[in-house]
Amino acid sequence: ALSARGCFEMRLQQYHQYNRACRKKVLNERLVIGGVLEAAEGKLPAESGIRVSNGGQGEDGWRAHVARRSRRYRRQARRAGGHFAVVVLEGGCGELNLRELVGAAERSESLGERPARIARLLVVLGGPDGISPEVREALRETVEPYADFPLLGIALPGGLLHSYYALANVLVFHDQGLLLPYLEAKAAPRPEAQEGPCGGGEQGAGELR
Protein backbone atom coordinates (compact mmCIF):
# COMPACT_ATOMS: atom_id res chain seq x y z
CA ALA A 1 0.00 0.00 0.00
CA LEU A 2 1.44 3.34 -1.07
CA SER A 3 0.78 7.01 -0.57
CA ALA A 4 2.83 10.17 -0.73
CA ARG A 5 3.09 10.12 3.08
CA GLY A 6 3.58 6.47 3.89
CA CYS A 7 4.09 2.99 2.47
CA PHE A 8 3.84 -0.52 3.77
CA GLU A 9 4.66 -3.80 2.13
CA MET A 10 3.77 -7.33 3.17
CA ARG A 11 5.66 -10.41 2.06
CA LEU A 12 2.74 -12.77 2.46
CA GLN A 13 4.55 -16.08 2.91
CA GLN A 14 6.91 -14.58 5.48
CA TYR A 15 4.00 -12.80 7.18
CA HIS A 16 2.06 -16.07 7.35
CA GLN A 17 5.00 -18.01 8.80
CA TYR A 18 5.58 -15.30 11.42
CA ASN A 19 1.92 -15.34 12.48
CA ARG A 20 1.98 -19.15 12.72
CA ALA A 21 5.07 -19.00 14.92
CA CYS A 22 3.24 -16.49 17.14
CA ARG A 23 0.15 -18.74 17.17
CA LYS A 24 -1.90 -16.10 15.35
CA LYS A 25 -3.37 -18.04 12.45
CA VAL A 26 -6.71 -16.23 12.13
CA LEU A 27 -6.47 -12.80 10.49
CA ASN A 28 -8.57 -9.93 11.81
CA GLU A 29 -8.40 -6.14 11.80
CA ARG A 30 -6.44 -6.03 15.04
CA LEU A 31 -3.79 -8.37 13.68
CA VAL A 32 -3.43 -6.84 10.19
CA ILE A 33 -3.88 -3.11 10.82
CA GLY A 34 -2.36 -3.34 14.29
CA GLY A 35 0.63 -5.16 12.83
CA VAL A 36 1.24 -2.37 10.34
CA LEU A 37 1.09 0.23 13.12
CA GLU A 38 3.43 -1.82 15.31
CA ALA A 39 5.89 -2.22 12.43
CA ALA A 40 5.80 1.55 11.86
CA GLU A 41 6.75 2.02 15.53
CA GLY A 42 9.59 -0.50 15.25
CA LYS A 43 7.90 -3.03 17.52
CA LEU A 44 7.98 -5.94 15.03
CA PRO A 45 11.11 -7.80 13.91
CA ALA A 46 12.21 -7.92 10.27
CA GLU A 47 11.05 -11.55 10.00
CA SER A 48 7.44 -10.39 10.46
CA GLY A 49 7.29 -9.76 6.71
CA ILE A 50 5.93 -6.22 7.16
CA ARG A 51 7.98 -3.29 5.95
CA VAL A 52 6.82 0.27 6.68
CA SER A 53 8.19 3.64 5.64
CA ASN A 54 6.74 7.09 6.30
CA GLY A 55 9.16 8.80 3.92
CA GLY A 56 11.10 10.45 6.71
CA GLN A 57 14.81 11.15 6.82
CA GLY A 58 16.74 8.02 5.91
CA GLU A 59 13.55 6.18 4.85
CA ASP A 60 12.52 5.15 1.36
CA GLY A 61 9.65 6.98 -0.32
CA TRP A 62 6.94 5.38 -2.42
CA ARG A 63 8.96 5.53 -5.63
CA ALA A 64 11.76 3.48 -4.09
CA HIS A 65 9.22 0.88 -2.92
CA VAL A 66 7.64 0.64 -6.38
CA ALA A 67 11.02 0.44 -8.12
CA ARG A 68 12.19 -2.34 -5.79
CA ARG A 69 8.99 -4.33 -6.33
CA SER A 70 9.19 -3.80 -10.10
CA ARG A 71 12.77 -5.07 -10.23
CA ARG A 72 11.74 -8.16 -8.29
CA TYR A 73 8.76 -8.86 -10.55
CA ARG A 74 10.82 -8.45 -13.69
CA ARG A 75 13.36 -10.99 -12.44
CA GLN A 76 10.56 -13.40 -11.55
CA ALA A 77 8.92 -12.94 -14.96
CA ARG A 78 12.19 -13.65 -16.74
CA ARG A 79 12.69 -16.84 -14.76
CA ALA A 80 9.14 -17.89 -15.69
CA GLY A 81 9.83 -17.24 -19.38
CA GLY A 82 7.40 -14.33 -19.65
CA HIS A 83 7.05 -10.58 -19.32
CA PHE A 84 6.34 -8.05 -16.59
CA ALA A 85 3.55 -5.48 -17.01
CA VAL A 86 2.03 -2.69 -14.92
CA VAL A 87 -1.63 -1.67 -15.16
CA VAL A 88 -3.38 1.27 -13.53
CA LEU A 89 -7.10 1.15 -12.73
CA GLU A 90 -8.29 4.64 -13.53
CA GLY A 91 -10.97 6.69 -15.20
CA GLY A 92 -10.60 8.15 -18.66
CA CYS A 93 -9.85 4.83 -20.35
CA GLY A 94 -12.22 2.51 -22.14
CA GLU A 95 -14.24 0.44 -19.68
CA LEU A 96 -13.69 -3.30 -19.56
CA ASN A 97 -16.62 -5.32 -20.77
CA LEU A 98 -17.18 -9.05 -20.67
CA ARG A 99 -17.43 -9.44 -24.46
CA GLU A 100 -13.96 -7.95 -24.99
CA LEU A 101 -12.47 -10.03 -22.17
CA VAL A 102 -13.93 -13.28 -23.48
CA GLY A 103 -13.01 -12.40 -27.07
CA ALA A 104 -9.38 -11.79 -26.14
CA ALA A 105 -9.22 -15.08 -24.21
CA GLU A 106 -10.72 -17.00 -27.13
CA ARG A 107 -8.32 -15.45 -29.65
CA SER A 108 -5.37 -16.24 -27.39
CA GLU A 109 -6.50 -19.86 -27.06
CA SER A 110 -7.09 -20.26 -30.82
CA LEU A 111 -3.63 -18.90 -31.68
CA GLY A 112 -1.96 -21.40 -29.38
CA GLU A 113 0.91 -19.01 -28.62
CA ARG A 114 1.33 -15.90 -26.47
CA PRO A 115 4.35 -13.87 -27.63
CA ALA A 116 3.48 -11.14 -25.10
CA ARG A 117 2.77 -13.59 -22.25
CA ILE A 118 2.55 -11.73 -18.95
CA ALA A 119 4.10 -13.75 -16.13
CA ARG A 120 4.01 -11.00 -13.49
CA LEU A 121 1.49 -8.16 -13.23
CA LEU A 122 1.61 -5.14 -10.91
CA VAL A 123 -1.86 -3.64 -10.39
CA VAL A 124 -2.03 -0.01 -9.23
CA LEU A 125 -5.26 1.33 -7.69
CA GLY A 126 -5.88 4.99 -7.04
CA GLY A 127 -7.57 6.33 -3.93
CA PRO A 128 -11.04 7.91 -3.73
CA ASP A 129 -9.91 10.87 -5.86
CA GLY A 130 -8.04 8.78 -8.41
CA ILE A 131 -4.43 9.40 -9.42
CA SER A 132 -3.34 12.93 -10.28
CA PRO A 133 -1.52 13.52 -13.60
CA GLU A 134 1.65 14.44 -11.69
CA VAL A 135 1.65 11.25 -9.63
CA ARG A 136 0.76 9.14 -12.67
CA GLU A 137 3.73 10.56 -14.56
CA ALA A 138 6.01 9.88 -11.60
CA LEU A 139 4.64 6.33 -11.49
CA ARG A 140 5.26 5.88 -15.21
CA GLU A 141 8.85 7.12 -14.89
CA THR A 142 9.41 4.73 -11.99
CA VAL A 143 8.03 1.49 -13.47
CA GLU A 144 8.73 1.73 -17.20
CA PRO A 145 12.50 1.14 -16.89
CA TYR A 146 11.60 -2.33 -15.54
CA ALA A 147 8.32 -3.15 -17.30
CA ASP A 148 8.32 -4.86 -20.69
CA PHE A 149 5.47 -2.66 -21.96
CA PRO A 150 4.44 0.97 -21.54
CA LEU A 151 2.23 1.63 -18.53
CA LEU A 152 -1.26 0.27 -19.25
CA GLY A 153 -4.52 1.83 -18.08
CA ILE A 154 -7.98 0.29 -17.82
CA ALA A 155 -11.28 1.37 -16.30
CA LEU A 156 -13.81 -0.89 -14.62
CA PRO A 157 -17.53 -0.51 -15.36
CA GLY A 158 -19.58 1.34 -12.78
CA GLY A 159 -17.62 4.56 -12.42
CA LEU A 160 -15.89 5.46 -9.14
CA LEU A 161 -15.43 2.35 -6.99
CA HIS A 162 -13.93 1.60 -3.60
CA SER A 163 -10.43 0.16 -4.02
CA TYR A 164 -11.29 -3.17 -2.42
CA TYR A 165 -14.27 -3.65 -4.77
CA ALA A 166 -12.23 -2.70 -7.83
CA LEU A 167 -9.47 -5.10 -6.82
CA ALA A 168 -12.02 -7.88 -6.23
CA ASN A 169 -13.33 -7.41 -9.78
CA VAL A 170 -9.81 -7.62 -11.21
CA LEU A 171 -9.05 -10.79 -9.23
CA VAL A 172 -12.28 -12.42 -10.44
CA PHE A 173 -11.38 -11.64 -14.06
CA HIS A 174 -7.94 -13.13 -13.44
CA ASP A 175 -9.33 -16.29 -11.81
CA GLN A 176 -11.60 -16.75 -14.84
CA GLY A 177 -8.59 -16.63 -17.17
CA LEU A 178 -9.78 -13.42 -18.83
CA LEU A 179 -7.58 -10.60 -17.56
CA LEU A 180 -4.11 -11.55 -18.79
CA PRO A 181 -5.13 -12.40 -22.40
CA TYR A 182 -6.91 -9.04 -22.59
CA LEU A 183 -3.87 -7.13 -21.31
CA GLU A 184 -1.54 -9.13 -23.55
CA ALA A 185 -3.65 -8.17 -26.57
CA LYS A 186 -3.60 -4.55 -25.42
CA ALA A 187 0.18 -4.60 -25.03
CA ALA A 188 1.11 -6.73 -28.06
CA PRO A 189 3.05 -4.74 -30.70
CA ARG A 190 1.11 -3.58 -33.73
CA PRO A 191 3.07 -1.31 -36.09
CA GLU A 192 0.01 0.61 -37.27
CA ALA A 193 -1.00 1.72 -33.77
CA GLN A 194 -0.06 5.00 -32.14
CA GLU A 195 0.62 5.23 -28.43
CA GLY A 196 -2.39 6.43 -26.47
CA PRO A 197 -2.81 7.95 -23.01
CA CYS A 198 -4.05 4.70 -21.48
CA GLY A 199 -0.99 2.72 -22.50
CA GLY A 200 -0.66 0.71 -25.67
CA GLY A 201 -2.01 2.46 -28.70
CA GLU A 202 -5.24 3.82 -30.05
CA GLN A 203 -5.76 0.31 -31.37
CA GLY A 204 -4.86 -1.07 -27.95
CA ALA A 205 -1.22 -1.71 -28.74
CA GLY A 206 2.08 -1.02 -27.08
CA GLU A 207 5.75 -1.51 -27.76
CA LEU A 208 7.22 -4.75 -26.51
CA ARG A 209 10.53 -4.21 -24.78
Output the pLDDT for position 204: 38
Output the pLDDT for position 148: 92
Instruction: Find the angle CA(203)-CA(205)-CA(209) to the nearest 5 degrees.
Output: 165
pLDDT along the chain (209 residues), means of 10: 70 86 83 84 88 70 85 94 89 71 79 78 77 87 93 74 69 85 75 47 42
- Cβ-Cβ contacts under 8 Å for 53 (sequence gap 6 or more): 6, 7, 8, 59, 60, 61, 65
Residues 19-37 have pLDDT tens digits of: 889 888 787 888 888 888 8
Output the pLDDT for position 208: 45
What CA–CA distance (Å, rounded) separates 11 from 19?
12
6, 53 contact by CB (below 8 A): yes
Output the pLDDT for position 58: 65
Instruction: Find the angle CA(130)-CA(146)-CA(53) to the nearest 5 degrees.
Output: 55
User: Whole-number mean pLDDT of the chain?
Assistant: 78
What's the whole-model pTM score?
0.70
Residues 36-52 have pLDDT tens digits of: 888 888 888 989 988 88
